[in-house]
């Protein structure tokens, strides 16, 4: 079935629809990963977005049921140059088309994804519509104007407090759209997790007397979450705190820093980041459209992005608090940045890694 991608700037790309045939509106972004499309589809941080994969062939190793980052696909739409119709891998349990049908997500194939990516790089991410019918200009304007992603975290956070058993450190997790592999990373370190909804109070978190507090990844603009920022402020100085991605941005805002939207974001599994502690460069997985611009007072920069110099990590000079913008659980290296979780374990043991830099 013929389908179109209609961009906010008026450009139109024509291709073929696959997956679940329905109209969809979202923020059009691109991901530069050659693999990992299954993790992209199920990452809650992509909620509200139509994702374009820059690698030309997607779906060649199929879908398995073990590598999901959440319980369902979270994207609004999925755009590829070519969809593999006959996947081949020993772990394959279903093909991409069937998975999108099952999750009621529309796909679009056959368009020039290179041209689309160049447009997004030159003009920035923008709203778009995937449709299989002809729309009038009035209908297009109305649909684009109506779309927003301000309630994204409320849509993907856990609805109830729940536990993940472990015999080690007890961690309170503020869930803004946590990825399963973050949970797996803590489980590998025998941590006991209590996972709270995003709108939980500081009082409820401190009531369980955790050894540390984790601020998870998630979708959207951190400035859309003023109540969460107030809660984090109340937790500062009470327990060791570690944040990833959106959690990193929320931590910066709660400490008096600032964030802003990137022109086209960082999305992919090939982003070089320098650890200023170790003077080493790591290839990282990233998925974010916002970035910390002004470091809070008493925070020092620990990691930088070597593509554009943006802040990729920070640590408090006096308190056991640190965070990173990239995803240390995502294994693009494949496990080069897993030490970030070990650093949090050291922090909860009373270690103070910041002394290594400030000494």
Task: Quickly list DSSP for 255-295.
Answer: TT-EEEEEEEEEEEEEEEEEETTTTEEEEEEEEEEEEEEEP
What is the pLDDT at residue 355?
52
What is the pLDDT at residue 358?
47
DSSP state of 210: -
What is the pLDDT at residue 331?
80
Measured between alpha carbons, how far is 275 from 183 in angstroms, rounded to an integer? 23
> Pick the catalytic residue: 191, 269, 327, 354?
327
Q: Give 119-158 pLDDT, tens digit per residue.
A: 999 999 999 999 999 999 999 999 999 999 999 999 999 9
* Residue 47, marked binder: no
* Residue 220, marked binder: yes
Q: Could you tell me if 220 and 183 are in contact, meaning their C-beta atoms sit under 8 angstroms apart?
A: no
Measured between alpha carbons, how far is 119 from 66 in angstroms, rounded to an integer? 35
Q: Could you tell me if 132 and 7 are in contact, meaning their C-beta atoms sit under 8 angstroms apart?
A: no
* Residue 333, marked binder: no
Nearest to 286 by CA among 222, 250, 223, 332: 332
Measured between alpha carbons, how far is 9 from 61 in angstroms, rounded to an integer? 35
* Token code pair at residue 174: 């503020």
What is the pLDDT at residue 334?
75
* Residue 290, marked binder: yes
Q: Is the pTM of this model over 0.85?
A: yes
* Residue 265, marked binder: no
Q: Quote the crossing angle between the two packed helices 226-235 and 246-254, to the nearest 10°.
A: 70
> Pick the catalytic residue: 245, 266, 312, 354?
245
* Residue found under tokens 């691109």: 30
> Could you say which residues of the chain have pLDDT below 70?
352-359
What is the pLDDT at residue 359?
41
What is the pLDDT at residue 335?
83
Nearest to 158 by CA among 173, 175, 181: 175
Measured between alpha carbons, how far is 305 from 274 in angstroms, rounded to an integer? 7
DSSP state of 63: B
* Residue 225, marked binder: no
Q: Is 327 a catalytic residue?
A: yes
List, in sequence order, every beta strand (DSSP E) within the chain: 2-7, 12-19, 24-31, 49-53, 57-58, 77-80, 82-83, 106-109, 126-131, 162-164, 170-174, 192-196, 212-215, 241-244, 258-275, 280-294, 299-305, 311-316, 321-324
Nearest to 193 by CA among 176, 217, 219, 212: 212
Q: Is 278 a catalytic residue?
A: no
What is the pLDDT at residue 307?
96
Q: Is 329 a catalytic residue?
A: yes
- Measured at the CA of 251, the angle between CA 197 and CA 215, to 5 degrees, comes to 35
| Number of C-beta neighbours around residue 285 at 10 A | 24
């Amino acid at each position: 079935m013929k389908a179109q991608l209609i961009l906010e700037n008026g450009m139109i790309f024509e291709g073929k629809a696959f997956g679940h045939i329905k109209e969809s509106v979202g923020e059009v972004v691109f991901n530069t990963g050659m693999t990992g499309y299954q993790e992209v589809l199920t990452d809650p941080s992509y909620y509200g977005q139509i994702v374009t994969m820059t690698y030309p062939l997607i779906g060649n190793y199929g879908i398995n049921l073990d590598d999901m980052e959440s319980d369902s696909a979270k994207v609004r739409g999925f755009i590829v140059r070519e969809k593999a119709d006959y996947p081949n891998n020993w772990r394959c349990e279903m093909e991409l088309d069937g998975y999108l049908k099952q999750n009621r997500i529309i796909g679009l194939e056959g368009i020039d994804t290179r041209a689309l990516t160049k447009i997004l790089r030159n003009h920035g991410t923008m709203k778009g519509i995937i449709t299989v019918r002809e729309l009038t200009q009035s209908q297009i304007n109305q649909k684009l104007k109506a779309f927003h992603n301000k309630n994204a975290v409320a849509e993907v956070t856990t609805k109830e407090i729940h536990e993940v058993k472990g015999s080690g450190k007890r961690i309170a997790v503020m869930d803004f759209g946590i990825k399963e592999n973050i949970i797996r990373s803590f489980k590998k370190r025998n941590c006991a997790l209590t996972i709270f909804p995003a709108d939980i109070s500081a009082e409820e978190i401190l009531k369980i007397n955790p050894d540390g507090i984790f601020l998870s990844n998630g979708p959207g603009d951190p400035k859309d979450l003023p109540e969460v920022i107030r809660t984090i402020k109340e937790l500062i100085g009470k327990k060791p705190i570690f944040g990833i991605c959106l959690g990193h941005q929320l931590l910066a805002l709660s400490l008096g820093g600032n964030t802003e939207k990137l022109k086209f974001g960082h999305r992919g599994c090939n982003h070089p980041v320098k650890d200023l502690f170790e003077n080493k460069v790591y290839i990282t997985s990233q998925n974010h459209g916002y970035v910390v611009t002004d470091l809070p007072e008493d925070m020092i920069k620990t990691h930088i992005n070597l593509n554009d110099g943006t802040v990729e990590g920070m640590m408090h000079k006096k308190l056991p608090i640190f965070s990173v913008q990239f995803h240390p659980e995502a294994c693009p290296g494949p496990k080069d940045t897993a030490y970030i979780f070990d650093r949090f374990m050291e922090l909860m043991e009373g270690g103070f890694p910041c002394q290594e830099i400030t000494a």
